[in-house]
Chains A and B, each alone.
Chain A
Protein backbone atom coordinates (compact mmCIF):
# COMPACT_ATOMS: atom_id res chain seq x y z
CA UNK A 1 0.00 0.00 0.00
CA UNK A 2 1.34 3.39 -0.97
CA UNK A 3 2.07 5.86 1.80
CA UNK A 4 2.21 9.62 1.67
CA UNK A 5 5.84 10.73 1.34
CA UNK A 6 7.33 13.35 3.57
CA UNK A 7 7.94 15.48 0.49
CA UNK A 8 4.21 15.44 -0.28
CA UNK A 9 3.11 16.60 3.15
CA UNK A 10 5.83 19.24 3.12
CA UNK A 11 4.60 20.50 -0.23
CA UNK A 12 1.03 20.57 1.12
CA UNK A 13 2.22 22.54 4.14
CA UNK A 14 4.16 25.13 2.17
CA UNK A 15 1.42 25.63 -0.44
CA UNK A 16 -1.46 25.56 2.05
CA UNK A 17 -2.83 28.98 1.14
CA UNK A 18 -2.88 28.24 -2.59
CA UNK A 19 -4.48 24.83 -2.00
CA UNK A 20 -7.19 26.38 0.16
CA UNK A 21 -7.99 29.07 -2.40
CA UNK A 22 -8.36 26.51 -5.20
CA UNK A 23 -10.34 24.13 -3.01
CA UNK A 24 -12.80 26.88 -2.03
CA UNK A 25 -13.16 27.90 -5.68
CA UNK A 26 -13.98 24.28 -6.56
CA UNK A 27 -16.46 24.00 -3.71
CA UNK A 28 -18.25 27.13 -4.81
CA UNK A 29 -18.29 26.01 -8.43
CA UNK A 30 -19.80 22.62 -7.57
CA UNK A 31 -22.48 24.17 -5.40
CA UNK A 32 -21.26 22.31 -2.33
CA UNK A 33 -20.74 25.61 -0.52
CA UNK A 34 -24.29 26.85 -1.03
CA UNK A 35 -25.85 28.07 2.18
CA UNK A 36 -22.50 28.63 3.88
CA UNK A 37 -21.02 32.07 4.51
CA UNK A 38 -17.56 32.66 2.94
CA UNK A 39 -16.05 33.07 6.41
CA UNK A 40 -17.48 29.79 7.61
CA UNK A 41 -16.29 27.99 4.48
CA UNK A 42 -12.80 29.52 4.89
CA UNK A 43 -12.69 28.44 8.52
CA UNK A 44 -13.88 24.88 7.80
CA UNK A 45 -11.53 24.32 4.85
CA UNK A 46 -8.50 25.79 6.66
CA UNK A 47 -9.16 23.76 9.79
CA UNK A 48 -9.64 20.53 7.88
CA UNK A 49 -6.58 20.92 5.63
CA UNK A 50 -4.48 21.75 8.71
CA UNK A 51 -5.77 18.60 10.40
CA UNK A 52 -5.09 16.43 7.36
CA UNK A 53 -1.50 17.69 7.09
CA UNK A 54 -0.87 17.17 10.82
CA UNK A 55 -2.42 13.70 10.80
CA UNK A 56 -0.58 12.67 7.63
CA UNK A 57 2.75 13.81 9.08
CA UNK A 58 2.22 11.98 12.35
CA UNK A 59 0.23 8.96 11.26
CA UNK A 60 -0.36 6.40 8.55
CA UNK A 61 -2.29 7.88 5.63
CA UNK A 62 -3.34 4.50 4.28
CA UNK A 63 -5.60 3.79 7.23
CA UNK A 64 -7.68 6.59 8.71
CA UNK A 65 -9.35 4.44 11.36
CA UNK A 66 -6.24 4.60 13.54
CA UNK A 67 -5.83 6.88 16.56
CA UNK A 68 -3.55 9.20 14.56
CA UNK A 69 -6.54 10.33 12.54
CA UNK A 70 -8.91 10.88 15.46
CA UNK A 71 -8.90 14.67 15.15
CA UNK A 72 -9.60 14.64 11.39
CA UNK A 73 -12.36 12.04 11.78
CA UNK A 74 -13.99 13.93 14.62
CA UNK A 75 -13.93 17.13 12.58
CA UNK A 76 -15.65 15.36 9.67
CA UNK A 77 -18.23 13.76 11.94
CA UNK A 78 -19.13 17.14 13.39
CA UNK A 79 -19.26 18.65 9.93
CA UNK A 80 -21.55 16.00 8.44
CA UNK A 81 -23.79 16.04 11.48
CA UNK A 82 -24.36 19.80 11.26
CA UNK A 83 -24.88 19.54 7.52
CA UNK A 84 -27.38 16.71 7.91
CA UNK A 85 -29.45 18.76 10.33
CA UNK A 86 -29.13 21.85 8.13
CA UNK A 87 -30.69 19.83 5.30
CA UNK A 88 -27.68 19.56 2.97
CA UNK A 89 -27.65 16.90 0.26
CA UNK A 90 -25.39 13.91 0.88
CA UNK A 91 -23.41 14.46 -2.34
CA UNK A 92 -22.71 18.07 -1.38
CA UNK A 93 -21.35 16.91 1.94
CA UNK A 94 -19.17 14.28 0.25
CA UNK A 95 -18.04 16.89 -2.29
CA UNK A 96 -16.52 18.85 0.55
CA UNK A 97 -13.75 16.24 0.52
CA UNK A 98 -13.69 15.31 -3.15
CA UNK A 99 -13.26 18.92 -4.30
CA UNK A 100 -9.84 18.84 -2.67
CA UNK A 101 -8.61 16.25 -5.18
CA UNK A 102 -7.99 18.53 -8.14
CA UNK A 103 -5.87 21.15 -6.32
CA UNK A 104 -3.96 18.40 -4.54
CA UNK A 105 -3.24 16.53 -7.76
CA UNK A 106 -2.07 19.75 -9.44
CA UNK A 107 0.27 20.33 -6.53
CA UNK A 108 1.63 16.78 -6.78
CA UNK A 109 2.23 17.22 -10.49
CA UNK A 110 4.26 20.34 -9.85
CA UNK A 111 6.19 18.74 -6.98
CA UNK A 112 7.12 15.54 -8.81
CA UNK A 113 7.40 16.92 -12.35
CA UNK A 114 10.65 15.07 -12.94
CA UNK A 115 9.77 11.80 -11.22
CA UNK A 116 6.76 10.09 -12.83
CA UNK A 117 7.06 6.90 -10.78
CA UNK A 118 6.80 8.73 -7.44
CA UNK A 119 4.10 10.98 -8.88
CA UNK A 120 1.91 7.96 -9.70
CA UNK A 121 2.60 6.45 -6.30
CA UNK A 122 1.73 9.64 -4.44
CA UNK A 123 -1.37 10.24 -6.57
CA UNK A 124 -2.61 6.81 -5.60
CA UNK A 125 -1.87 7.40 -1.91
CA UNK A 126 -3.69 10.76 -1.99
CA UNK A 127 -6.70 9.31 -3.80
CA UNK A 128 -7.00 6.52 -1.29
CA UNK A 129 -6.78 8.93 1.60
CA UNK A 130 -9.40 11.30 0.23
CA UNK A 131 -11.72 8.43 -0.70
CA UNK A 132 -11.56 7.10 2.82
CA UNK A 133 -12.24 10.52 4.28
CA UNK A 134 -15.10 11.06 1.85
CA UNK A 135 -16.60 7.70 2.68
CA UNK A 136 -16.38 8.43 6.37
CA UNK A 137 -18.23 11.71 5.80
CA UNK A 138 -21.02 10.01 3.88
CA UNK A 139 -21.37 7.30 6.49
CA UNK A 140 -21.68 9.80 9.31
CA UNK A 141 -24.06 11.89 7.23
CA UNK A 142 -26.28 8.88 6.67
CA UNK A 143 -26.25 7.99 10.34
CA UNK A 144 -27.19 11.53 11.34
CA UNK A 145 -30.05 11.51 8.84
CA UNK A 146 -31.32 8.27 10.34
CA UNK A 147 -31.19 9.84 13.78
CA UNK A 148 -33.25 12.75 12.48
CA UNK A 149 -35.86 10.35 11.07
CA UNK A 150 -36.02 8.41 14.31
CA UNK A 151 -36.53 11.58 16.29
CA UNK A 152 -39.27 12.68 13.93
CA UNK A 153 -41.02 9.34 14.33
CA UNK A 154 -40.98 9.79 18.07
CA UNK A 155 -42.29 13.33 17.73
CA UNK A 156 -45.05 12.07 15.47
CA UNK A 157 -46.06 9.56 18.12
CA UNK A 158 -46.52 12.40 20.58
CA UNK A 159 -48.12 14.76 18.09
CA UNK A 160 -50.78 12.35 16.98
CA UNK A 161 -52.48 12.06 20.33
CA UNK A 162 -53.98 15.37 21.37
CA UNK A 163 -56.72 15.08 23.95
CA UNK A 164 -58.97 18.13 23.69
CA UNK A 165 -61.53 19.48 26.11
CA UNK A 166 -64.83 20.14 24.37
CA UNK A 167 -66.82 21.18 27.40
CA UNK A 168 -66.63 20.98 31.15
CA UNK A 169 -66.46 17.25 31.81
CA UNK A 170 -66.31 16.30 28.11
CA UNK A 171 -63.03 15.23 26.52
CA UNK A 172 -62.44 14.33 22.88
CA UNK A 173 -59.68 12.32 21.29
CA UNK A 174 -59.44 12.68 17.51
CA UNK A 175 -57.59 9.60 16.26
CA UNK A 176 -55.67 9.92 13.01
CA UNK A 177 -53.98 7.36 10.79
CA UNK A 178 -52.94 3.86 11.66
CA UNK A 179 -53.84 2.51 15.07
CA UNK A 180 -50.90 0.24 15.65
CA UNK A 181 -50.46 -1.09 19.14
CA UNK A 182 -47.63 1.20 20.23
CA UNK A 183 -49.52 4.36 19.38
CA UNK A 184 -52.75 3.08 20.86
CA UNK A 185 -50.88 2.54 24.09
CA UNK A 186 -49.75 6.17 24.14
CA UNK A 187 -53.25 7.34 23.21
CA UNK A 188 -54.86 5.30 25.94
CA UNK A 189 -52.44 6.52 28.59
CA UNK A 190 -52.83 10.19 27.72
CA UNK A 191 -56.62 9.93 27.56
CA UNK A 192 -56.91 8.12 30.90
CA UNK A 193 -54.55 10.62 32.51
CA UNK A 194 -56.58 13.55 31.19
CA UNK A 195 -59.78 11.98 32.51
CA UNK A 196 -58.22 11.89 35.98
CA UNK A 197 -56.74 15.39 35.69
CA UNK A 198 -59.95 17.05 34.54
CA UNK A 199 -62.42 14.85 36.38
CA UNK A 200 -64.30 14.36 33.12
CA UNK A 201 -67.37 12.15 32.93
CA UNK A 202 -67.52 11.62 29.18
CA UNK A 203 -64.78 10.85 26.67
CA UNK A 204 -65.40 10.94 22.92
CA UNK A 205 -63.06 8.94 20.68
CA UNK A 206 -63.35 10.21 17.12
CA UNK A 207 -62.23 7.77 14.44
CA UNK A 208 -62.98 9.95 11.39
CA UNK A 209 -59.27 10.03 10.61
CA UNK A 210 -58.80 6.26 10.83
CA UNK A 211 -59.05 4.86 7.29
CA UNK A 212 -59.39 1.18 8.19
CA UNK A 213 -61.14 -0.37 11.16
CA UNK A 214 -60.16 -4.01 11.34
CA UNK A 215 -60.35 -6.47 14.24
CA UNK A 216 -57.10 -5.25 15.80
CA UNK A 217 -58.26 -1.62 15.77
CA UNK A 218 -61.61 -2.75 17.19
CA UNK A 219 -59.85 -4.72 19.91
CA UNK A 220 -57.81 -1.66 20.88
CA UNK A 221 -60.95 0.49 20.92
CA UNK A 222 -62.79 -2.05 23.07
CA UNK A 223 -59.92 -2.18 25.55
CA UNK A 224 -59.77 1.60 25.74
CA UNK A 225 -63.53 1.82 26.30
CA UNK A 226 -63.33 -0.80 29.06
CA UNK A 227 -60.50 1.07 30.78
CA UNK A 228 -62.42 4.36 30.59
CA UNK A 229 -65.47 2.71 32.13
CA UNK A 230 -63.40 1.21 34.91
CA UNK A 231 -62.41 4.75 35.78
CA UNK A 232 -66.05 5.67 36.15
CA UNK A 233 -66.38 7.67 32.94
CA UNK A 234 -68.45 7.06 29.82
CA UNK A 235 -67.18 6.69 26.29
CA UNK A 236 -68.71 7.58 22.94
CA UNK A 237 -67.11 6.57 19.65
CA UNK A 238 -67.80 8.99 16.83
CA UNK A 239 -66.83 9.20 13.17
CA UNK A 240 -68.32 5.84 12.17
CA UNK A 241 -68.81 6.37 8.44
CA UNK A 242 -71.22 4.22 6.41
CA UNK A 243 -68.49 2.07 4.84
CA UNK A 244 -66.86 1.53 8.25
CA UNK A 245 -70.21 0.57 9.76
CA UNK A 246 -70.82 -2.03 7.03
CA UNK A 247 -67.32 -3.40 7.40
CA UNK A 248 -67.79 -3.77 11.15
CA UNK A 249 -71.01 -5.69 10.55
CA UNK A 250 -69.35 -8.07 8.05
CA UNK A 251 -66.38 -8.62 10.33
CA UNK A 252 -68.85 -9.71 13.00
CA UNK A 253 -67.52 -7.24 15.56
CA UNK A 254 -69.70 -6.81 18.59
CA UNK A 255 -69.76 -3.16 19.54
CA UNK A 256 -73.05 -3.47 21.37
CA UNK A 257 -73.02 -1.65 24.64
CA UNK A 258 -70.78 1.02 23.15
CA UNK A 259 -72.44 4.24 22.13
CA UNK A 260 -71.40 5.16 18.59
CA UNK A 261 -72.24 8.21 16.49
CA UNK A 262 -71.69 9.11 12.85
CA UNK A 263 -69.92 12.35 13.61
CA UNK A 264 -68.35 14.37 16.37
CA UNK A 265 -71.18 16.94 16.45
CA UNK A 266 -73.75 14.24 17.26
CA UNK A 267 -71.47 12.83 19.92
CA UNK A 268 -71.05 16.27 21.52
CA UNK A 269 -74.80 16.85 21.43
CA UNK A 270 -75.33 13.54 23.21
CA UNK A 271 -72.62 14.32 25.76
CA UNK A 272 -74.22 17.69 26.52
CA UNK A 273 -77.65 16.11 26.89
CA UNK A 274 -76.24 13.53 29.28
CA UNK A 275 -74.64 16.31 31.29
CA UNK A 276 -78.07 17.90 31.59
CA UNK A 277 -77.29 20.76 29.25
CA UNK A 278 -79.34 22.01 26.33
CA UNK A 279 -78.23 24.20 23.50
CA UNK A 280 -80.80 26.79 22.44
CA UNK A 281 -80.72 29.40 19.75
CA UNK A 282 -80.34 32.93 21.10
CA UNK A 283 -83.41 34.54 19.63
Chain B
Protein backbone atom coordinates (compact mmCIF):
# COMPACT_ATOMS: atom_id res chain seq x y z
CA UNK B 1 0.00 0.00 0.00
CA UNK B 2 1.41 3.37 -1.05
CA UNK B 3 0.52 6.77 0.38
CA UNK B 4 0.25 9.01 -2.66
CA UNK B 5 -0.56 12.25 -0.88
CA UNK B 6 -1.31 13.37 2.65
CA UNK B 7 -2.05 16.42 4.73
CA UNK B 8 -3.52 17.83 7.91
CA UNK B 9 -6.06 20.49 8.58
CA UNK B 10 -7.34 21.98 11.82
CA UNK B 11 -10.83 21.21 13.10
CA UNK B 12 -11.28 23.72 15.89
CA UNK B 13 -14.47 25.68 15.32
CA UNK B 14 -17.86 25.05 13.70
CA UNK B 15 -16.69 26.67 10.41
CA UNK B 16 -13.85 24.16 10.21
CA UNK B 17 -16.45 21.40 9.86
CA UNK B 18 -17.60 23.01 6.61
CA UNK B 19 -13.98 23.34 5.43
CA UNK B 20 -13.27 19.71 6.38
CA UNK B 21 -16.29 18.60 4.32
CA UNK B 22 -15.01 20.59 1.34
CA UNK B 23 -11.55 19.04 1.60
CA UNK B 24 -12.93 15.52 1.93
CA UNK B 25 -15.24 16.00 -1.05
CA UNK B 26 -12.34 17.27 -3.18
CA UNK B 27 -10.10 14.37 -2.10
CA UNK B 28 -12.86 11.81 -2.65
CA UNK B 29 -13.30 13.07 -6.22
CA UNK B 30 -9.52 12.97 -6.72
CA UNK B 31 -9.46 9.36 -5.49
CA UNK B 32 -12.04 8.39 -8.05
CA UNK B 33 -14.71 7.36 -5.55
CA UNK B 34 -18.20 7.05 -6.99
CA UNK B 35 -20.79 9.72 -6.18
CA UNK B 36 -22.48 7.51 -3.59
CA UNK B 37 -19.17 6.72 -1.88
CA UNK B 38 -18.16 10.38 -2.01
CA UNK B 39 -21.39 11.34 -0.27
CA UNK B 40 -20.93 8.63 2.33
CA UNK B 41 -17.40 9.55 3.35
CA UNK B 42 -18.20 13.29 3.28
CA UNK B 43 -21.18 12.70 5.56
CA UNK B 44 -19.13 10.49 7.91
CA UNK B 45 -16.37 13.13 7.97
CA UNK B 46 -18.95 15.78 8.75
CA UNK B 47 -20.19 13.80 11.76
CA UNK B 48 -16.72 13.05 13.10
CA UNK B 49 -15.43 16.57 12.52
CA UNK B 50 -18.38 17.97 14.44
CA UNK B 51 -17.78 15.51 17.27
CA UNK B 52 -14.14 16.66 17.36
CA UNK B 53 -15.28 20.27 17.71
CA UNK B 54 -18.24 19.77 20.05
CA UNK B 55 -17.09 16.92 22.31
CA UNK B 56 -13.31 16.84 21.79
CA UNK B 57 -12.83 20.57 22.23
CA UNK B 58 -11.19 20.85 18.80
CA UNK B 59 -8.47 18.86 17.10
CA UNK B 60 -7.10 18.00 13.67
CA UNK B 61 -7.99 15.96 10.64
CA UNK B 62 -5.22 14.03 8.86
CA UNK B 63 -5.92 12.76 5.38
CA UNK B 64 -4.14 10.27 3.15
CA UNK B 65 -4.78 9.20 -0.40
CA UNK B 66 -3.87 5.54 -0.63
CA UNK B 67 -3.08 3.20 -3.47
CA UNK B 68 -3.26 -0.55 -3.04
CA UNK B 69 -2.79 -2.25 -6.38
CA UNK B 70 -5.66 -1.18 -8.53
CA UNK B 71 -7.63 0.12 -5.57
CA UNK B 72 -7.57 3.71 -4.44
CA UNK B 73 -8.71 4.86 -1.07
CA UNK B 74 -9.12 7.84 1.16
CA UNK B 75 -8.19 7.54 4.83
CA UNK B 76 -9.08 10.17 7.40
CA UNK B 77 -7.96 10.45 11.00
CA UNK B 78 -9.80 12.72 13.42
CA UNK B 79 -7.86 13.29 16.60
CA UNK B 80 -8.42 15.47 19.62
CA UNK B 81 -7.00 15.80 23.09
CA UNK B 82 -10.39 16.15 24.75
CA UNK B 83 -11.97 14.28 27.66
CA UNK B 84 -12.13 10.99 25.71
CA UNK B 85 -14.97 8.48 25.77
CA UNK B 86 -15.57 6.87 29.17
CA UNK B 87 -18.00 4.15 28.10
CA UNK B 88 -17.28 2.95 24.58
CA UNK B 89 -20.18 0.48 24.50
CA UNK B 90 -22.63 3.21 25.41
CA UNK B 91 -21.09 5.64 22.91
CA UNK B 92 -21.50 3.08 20.14
CA UNK B 93 -25.22 2.69 20.88
CA UNK B 94 -27.71 4.15 18.43
CA UNK B 95 -29.61 7.06 19.88
CA UNK B 96 -27.37 7.67 22.87
CA UNK B 97 -25.80 11.08 23.18
CA UNK B 98 -23.92 12.92 25.90
CA UNK B 99 -24.89 16.21 24.29
CA UNK B 100 -28.11 17.22 22.59
CA UNK B 101 -27.72 15.65 19.15
CA UNK B 102 -29.59 12.68 17.75
CA UNK B 103 -27.03 10.18 19.02
CA UNK B 104 -26.44 8.74 15.57
CA UNK B 105 -23.23 10.49 14.50
CA UNK B 106 -20.66 7.95 15.67
CA UNK B 107 -22.63 4.81 14.85
CA UNK B 108 -23.88 6.35 11.60
CA UNK B 109 -20.34 7.22 10.53
CA UNK B 110 -19.28 3.63 11.23
CA UNK B 111 -22.04 2.31 8.99
CA UNK B 112 -21.15 4.80 6.24
CA UNK B 113 -17.54 3.74 5.74
CA UNK B 114 -15.80 0.42 5.22
CA UNK B 115 -12.96 0.80 7.72
CA UNK B 116 -13.68 2.29 11.11
CA UNK B 117 -11.34 2.32 14.07
CA UNK B 118 -11.78 4.16 17.30
CA UNK B 119 -9.19 4.64 20.01
CA UNK B 120 -10.17 6.71 22.99
CA UNK B 121 -8.70 7.06 26.45
CA UNK B 122 -10.44 9.13 29.13
CA UNK B 123 -8.39 12.23 29.90
CA UNK B 124 -6.05 11.66 26.95
CA UNK B 125 -8.15 12.12 23.85
CA UNK B 126 -9.88 10.37 21.00
CA UNK B 127 -8.58 9.19 17.66
CA UNK B 128 -10.92 7.89 14.99
CA UNK B 129 -9.72 6.46 11.68
CA UNK B 130 -12.01 5.89 8.72
CA UNK B 131 -11.34 4.85 5.17
CA UNK B 132 -13.31 4.29 2.01
CA UNK B 133 -12.00 2.39 -1.01
CA UNK B 134 -12.93 2.39 -4.68
Contact = CB atoms under 8 A, between A and B. Distances in A.
Interface of A: 178, 180, 211-216, 218-219, 242-244, 246-247, 250-253
B71 interface: no
Nearest to B42: A212
A247 B47 contact: no
A246 B37 CA distance: 10
Contact of B112 (A178, A180, A216, A247): A247
B112 to A, nearest CB: 5
B111 A212 contact: no
27 contacts: A180-B18, A212-B21, A212-B39, A212-B42, A212-B46, A213-B43, A214-B46, A214-B108, A215-B47, A215-B101, A215-B102, A215-B108, A216-B46, A216-B101, A219-B102, A243-B35, A243-B38, A246-B36, A247-B40, A247-B43, A247-B112, A250-B112, A251-B43, A251-B47, A251-B108, A252-B108, A252-B111
Given A180-B14, A212-B21, A250-B111, 12 more contacts: A180-B18, A211-B42, A215-B102, A219-B101, A243-B36, A246-B36, A246-B40, A247-B39, A250-B108, A251-B47, A251-B108, A252-B104
A214 B94 contact: no
A213 B102 CA distance: 13
Contact of A253 (B25, B36, B40, B102): B102
B50 interface: yes
A212 B107 CA distance: 17
Contacts of B18: 178, 180
Nearest to A247: B43
B93 to A, nearest CB: 11
B105 interface: yes
Nearest to A182: B14
A54 to B, nearest CB: 47
